């Protein structure tokens, strides 16, 4: 009887050891670092600045301002007049040498530019935007392309390994004001996704959390702003946290989705002196 119990004990010990080892192997990730972490880790979004927040300043100054407010990531925009250092050209007008100069400036500032807000009106312009994206090592273009260019952009995105994030302006200003129209463009186009503009959804009378849920699995980037009134197209832009957007609920939903892309603070008020509000927005979202 005792020998049988001993045998059973060894069997139980062996099974327990196997389970423990399997559990360890499934949860280990980086043996060289000596840190044991889960393979399925929660992604954390990166908080940055849309350079449109500093649209009245030359490009070099926007980088300085972004660094000063604590940003690590920035998103450029195609109609920005880049200042005397670039002969006041816009990004679409830059030569390859000037693009290299722009890229070097971003790197020297210790910043990363994963995306640019782009707006092509012709096939030639769209092709140039993808060339620009390739030279700047962009991950995606934020844009609102017309339907006639959807397939072209998907093809160029596959060739250049650059995704397309469909951006939503408010109702009446963009065909993409509602998530349903964004999903229509995404359907059958694997390079397409969404740039969720929270403030414009609120201006259009849409609940941003419900919009995020509709676009789950497709969100590439987020534009974060706050608005003083719900469902009013000319609602005023205010400091994040002072408006009607429930940012704790927004961040909770993005966390539920495992969103790990960039959230760009887009401050559209006090254009000459919004440094404090941008810095506050970055810190506020990081805490959330």
| pLDDT at site 124 | 98
In 174-253, beta strands by DSSP E: 192-197, 219-224, 226-227, 237-238
Same domain for 63 and 150, yes or no, is yes
Same domain for 141 and 260, yes or no, is yes
Q: CA 288 to CA 281: how far, in whole Å?
A: 11
CATH code of 248's domain: 3.20.20.150
Q: CA 258 to CA 217: how far, in whole Å?
A: 9
* Tens-place pLDDT, residues 72-129: 999 999 999 999 999 999 999 999 999 999 999 999 999 999 999 999 999 999 999 9
Cα 151-152-156 angle, rounded to 5 deg: 120
Same domain for 10 and 145, yes or no, is no
pLDDT at 40 over 90: no
Same domain for 50 and 36, yes or no, is no
Q: Which residues pair with 238 in a beta bridge?
A: 226
Same domain for 203 and 60, yes or no, is yes
Print the domain residue range for 11. Answer: 1-41
Same domain for 32 and 109, yes or no, is no
pLDDT at 230 over 50: yes
pLDDT at 4 over 90: no
pLDDT at 35 over 60: no
Per-residue burial over 184-201, b = 16 or more CB atoms within 10 Å of its CB, e = otherwise: ebbeebebbbbbbbbbbb
pLDDT at 37 over 80: no
Same domain for 35 and 170, yes or no, is no
Same domain for 67 and 6, yes or no, is no
pLDDT at 241 over 80: yes
* Tens-place pLDDT, residues 259-283: 999 999 999 999 999 999 999 999 9
pLDDT at 42 over 60: no
Q: CA 197 to CA 208: how far, in whole Å?
A: 8
pLDDT at 56 over 90: yes
């Amino acid at each position: 009887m005792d020998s049988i119990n001993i045998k059973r004990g060894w069997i139980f010990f062996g099974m327990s050891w196997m389970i423990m080892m399997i559990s360890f192997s499934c949860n280990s990730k980086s043996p060289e670092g000596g840190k044991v972490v889960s393979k399925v880790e929660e992604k954390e979004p990166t908080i940055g600045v849309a350079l449109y927040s500093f649209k009245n300043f030359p490009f070099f100054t926007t980088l300085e301002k972004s660094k000063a407010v604590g940003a690590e990531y920035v998103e450029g925009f195609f109609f920005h007049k880049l200042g005397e250092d670039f002969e006041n050209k816009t990004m679409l007008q830059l030569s390859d040498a000037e693009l290299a100069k722009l890229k070097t400036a971003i790197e020297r500032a210790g910043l990363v530019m994963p995306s640019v807000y782009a707006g092509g009106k012709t096939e030639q312009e769209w092709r140039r935007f993808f060339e620009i994206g390739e030279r700047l090592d962009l991950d995606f273009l934020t844009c609102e392309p017309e339907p006639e260019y959807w397939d072209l952009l998907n093809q160029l995105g596959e060739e250049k390994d650059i995704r397309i994030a469909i951006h939503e302006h408010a109702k009446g200003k963009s065909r993409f004001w509602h998530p349903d129209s964004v999903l229509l463009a995404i359907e059958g186009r694997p390079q397409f996704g969404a740039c969720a503009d929270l403030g414009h959804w609120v201006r259009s009378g849409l609940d941003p959390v419900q919009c995020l849920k509709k676009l789950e699995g497709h969100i590439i980037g987020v534009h974060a702003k706050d608005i003083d009134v719900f469902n009013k197209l000319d609602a005023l832009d205010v400091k994040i946290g002072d408006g009607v957007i429930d940012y704790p609920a927004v961040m909770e939903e993005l966390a539920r989705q495992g969103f790990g892309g960039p959230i760009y603070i887009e401050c559209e008020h006090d254009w000459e002196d919004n440094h404090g509000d941008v810095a506050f927005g970055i810190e506020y979202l990081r805490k959330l």
